[in-house]
A and B are shown apart, each in its own frame.
Chain A
Amino acid sequence: MQSRFSSAALAAGVTLILGFMVLGISFSVEGVVPTLEVSESHKIIGLLIGAGLVFLLQYFRAEVSKVTAKMKGDGQAHELPSFMRTEKQQRVLAFWAVGALLLFPFLSSRGAVDIATLTLIYVMLGLGLNVVVGLAGLLDLGYVGFYAVGAYSYALLNLYFDMSFWMALPIAGGLAALFGYLLGFPVLRLRGDYLAIVTLGFGEIIRILLNNWTELTGGPNGIARIPKPTLFGLEFNRRPSEEGATTFHDFFGISYSSEYKVIFLYLMALLLVLLTIYVIRRLVRMPIGRAWEALREDDIACRSLGLNPTNIKLGAFTIGASFAGFAGSFFAARQGFISPESFTFIESAIILAIVVLGGMGSQLGVVLAACAMTILPEMAREFDEYRMLLFGLMMVLMMIWRPQGLLPMKRPHLELKRD
């Protein structure tokens, strides 16, 4: 009992000292004289709360580890609730869910629809990265690079060749896939952790290039006035941008509303997300999908069974990259403005956090995690500052307590009973 208290007190004391040096003192320079001040009270209070938490965690360590062991669930996959176990029930549920999502934009405000579109973009990114990280087990930290390629492809094709969204979309996806292929071809021979760093470097290279190639990309100023997609050539503007073209509201004889284009973009993003989910669901059941998972579990066993790991990984990498390209085009169309600022490493980390939280390999988990991670920060704007802090903390804690994610992937399987 004595040692339990003293070790907890020691841990809390160390936390206080370590935290005080950084949190407790504010550094500022007035003129040329550096000055130190004791920080604002909320930082000190935060520090004290943190130290208290550390004390409690250490003091009740045995109890805490019991709870966390339960969270880990012995590697057992999580049971779905009873109303969505069979294939038929799932199909009905999916039907209703899609129906609700289709109706959603007509019943809610413009702002909500806009956020929903952003959420769908993240769902797409999460699903794409899930193929790479979750299914194939390749840690890609430069995923945002492909996202940037997609976004800039549409923006540049539109700027220089006046290409419409629908023409640019497949090209953007294709270009991102090509980048994925070109990067993956040499680096996929590397071991896992090298791959992470190389992809991270690749993401940074793309961003630096976009930032410095001012003649082509506009540099840090980015590209503005990217048009929204059209419906078979019908624009959603108040007036047609070209002489002789018809706008959406003229064609259907309804009055103009700026909501139409937001709703349209949302519906298109929803369509693409559904398509993504469908394609990946199919892929997972195909030989290549099974090979991804097999390779993730045991590289050497796969090679001895005659699978070519490089080709299989390359497939995952390229397909994952193409989804990022699609998502990038949507992002460019939604924002109407892109700059290299939107494609920093933080963005890659957020997408990775989505995959990790949802459960690597699990589609439903990733979709729900993407929704949670985009909608929650929007709802709690005052905590925006703490968002990345919490993401980082969550990644560490998830890996320690529940590495398989909240809703891990479940395959039909039999297991031998162990005593």
Chain B
Amino acid sequence: MSDSIYYFIQQIANGLTIGSTYALIAIGYTMVYGIIGMINFAHGEVYMIGTYISFIVLAGLTMLGFDNVFIMVGLAMLVGIMIASAYGFTIEKVAYKPLRSSKRLIALISAIGMSIFLQNYIRLAQGSRDIAMPSMIQGGFLLGDPDGSHILISYMQVIIIVTTVICMAGLTLFISRSRMGRACRASAQDIGMTNLLGINSNNVIATTFIIGASLAAVAGTLLGMYYGVVNPYVGFIAGLKAFTAAVLGGIGSIPGAMLGGLLLGVSESLTAGYFTAEYKDVVAFSLLILILLFMPQGILGKPEVEKI
């Protein structure tokens, strides 16, 4: 009896950990979609690049002989954010900005091309094999009997959840209080009108990409350290999952992306825990199809009004 409850709570905790990183990545999709109405297909690759950068920084710091883990992780995250947001900014300038006025299909194909390009660029630069990083933060909180049924929540899981909460709080403050955040919200409602009112929409769009890429880099650092490996293909699946999370929560809605990420993480982890781990990706994609069919506006999204 208590055994199964412990197991259940353990699965939920694992799900929340993964889910919060999905939520971080999903923000990037949902914000870009909210403002320019396109799916930033290359977002998963930005996450992957963020992971690589943070691994490289961690390795560099280890070689230099640093031993304070928190400073190392913090620095890795910071450099990851800087480089990944520069990538996000550049991707927007190169692949999306020239196509802003063309059809959706055209922009989407360009985004897919960008995604393939980045994936292969990293593959050529860093090799296609898994790169493993020895885990730096070990141990965790143990609840229950260490020999019998127990719940183990590792410090890494705690760090992931806490960092996510901080990022989300920061983002919420930024969106609701700052001048730029207000401009973002206004652009999401009507970008043409916002432009007329003297707000430079190019800056708003660039900011959106930078925020999205930064959060993806945070997720990349955390998830990279949690799993301990990275390869050039992680971005594809992570991107799809995060997109599912964004759609689940209601695309265009930031709280929706957070909620969607957590829900997706938990449902995936429950599937892996109770059924079979091989099919957990199938669950995510089937969930996506089902939501789009029966609830295309998501949990917190607004139903889309077609403008003629």
B221 to chain A, nearest CB (A): 14
Q: Which residues of B contact A194 (CB under 8 A)?
A: 247, 292, 296
Q: How far is the CA of A211 from the CA of B276 in the complex (A)?
A: 14
Given A21-B56, A193-B38, A394 and B83 contact (CB-CB distance below 8 Å): no
Write the A182-225 contact mask toward B (1 if CB under 8 angstroms, else 0): 00001101111110111011101100110110000000000000
Write the B75-119 contact mask toward A (1 if CB under 8 angstroms, else 0): 000010001001100100011001100101111111011111111
The secondary-structure label for the interface of chain B is: helix
Determine if B122 is an interface residue (Cβ-Cβ < 8 Å). yes
Given A22-B126, A194-B296, A388 and B109 contact (CB-CB distance below 8 Å): no
Is A202 touching B63 in the complex (CB atoms < 8 A)? no
Q: How far is the CA of A349 from the CA of B278 in the complex (A)?
A: 24
Is A36 touching B126 in the complex (CB atoms < 8 A)? no
Partner of A36, one of B60, B118, B304: B60
Q: Which residues of A contact B118 (CB under 8 A)?
A: 392
Write the B257-280 contact mask toward A (1 if CB under 8 angstroms, else 0): 000000000000000000000110
Is B126 touching A27 in the complex (CB atoms < 8 A)? yes
A-B contact count (CB 8 A): 171
Determine if B226 is an interface residue (Cβ-Cβ < 8 Å). no
Is B109 touching A395 in the complex (CB atoms < 8 A)? yes
Is B55 touching A141 in the complex (CB atoms < 8 A)? no
Determine if A92 is an interface residue (Cβ-Cβ < 8 Å). no
Given A27-B131, A204-B285, A385-B124, A197 and B113 contact (CB-CB distance below 8 Å): no
Q: Which residues of A contact B94 (CB under 8 A)?
A: 396
Is A22 touching B120 in the complex (CB atoms < 8 A)? no
Nearest opposing residue in chain A for B102, CB measure: A403
Determine if B205 is an interface residue (Cβ-Cβ < 8 Å). no
Q: Which residues of B contact A208 (CB under 8 A)?
A: 278-279, 281-282
Determine if A104 is an interface residue (Cβ-Cβ < 8 Å). no
Q: Which positions 89-124 of chain A face chain B at CB distance < 8 Å?
A: none
Given A27-B131, A192-B108, A349-B116, A205 and B39 contact (CB-CB distance below 8 Å): no
Nearest opposing residue in chain A for B121, CB measure: A389
Q: Which residues of B contact A300 (CB under 8 A)?
A: 306, 308
Q: How far is the CA of A300 from the CA of B307 in the complex (A)?
A: 10
Determine if A25 is an interface residue (Cβ-Cβ < 8 Å). yes
> B interface, how many residues as a size bin?
35 or more
Q: Which residues of B contact A209 (CB under 8 A)?
A: 282
Determine if A137 is an interface residue (Cβ-Cβ < 8 Å). yes
Determine if B286 is an interface residue (Cβ-Cβ < 8 Å). yes
Q: Which residues of A contact B188 (CB under 8 A)?
A: none
Q: Which residues of A contact B53 (CB under 8 A)?
A: 21-22
Nearest opposing residue in chain B for A189, CB measure: B293
B177 to chain A, nearest CB (A): 30
Given A201-B240, A208-B281, A399-B99, A34 and B122 contact (CB-CB distance below 8 Å): no
Task: Identify which of A193, A212, A345, A399 gathers the most chain B CB atoms within 10 Å of its CB.
Answer: A399
Determine if B288 is an interface residue (Cβ-Cβ < 8 Å). yes
Q: How far is the CA of A391 from the CA of B292 in the complex (A)?
A: 30
Can you identify 30 A-B contacts, CB atoms within 8 angstroms? A18-B86, A21-B56, A22-B122, A22-B125, A22-B126, A27-B126, A34-B58, A34-B59, A141-B112, A187-B289, A187-B292, A189-B293, A190-B292, A190-B296, A192-B104, A193-B108, A200-B240, A201-B244, A204-B240, A212-B279, A346-B116, A349-B112, A353-B113, A385-B124, A391-B113, A398-B113, A399-B102, A399-B106, A399-B110, A399-B113
| 4 closest cross-chain pairs (CB), A and B | A395-B113, A392-B117, A392-B116, A201-B285
Starting from the known contacts A34-B62, A192-B105, 16 additional A-B residue pairs (CB-CB under 8 Å) come to A22-B125, A26-B126, A27-B52, A34-B55, A141-B112, A187-B293, A197-B240, A197-B247, A201-B288, A209-B282, A388-B119, A389-B124, A391-B113, A396-B94, A396-B114, A399-B113
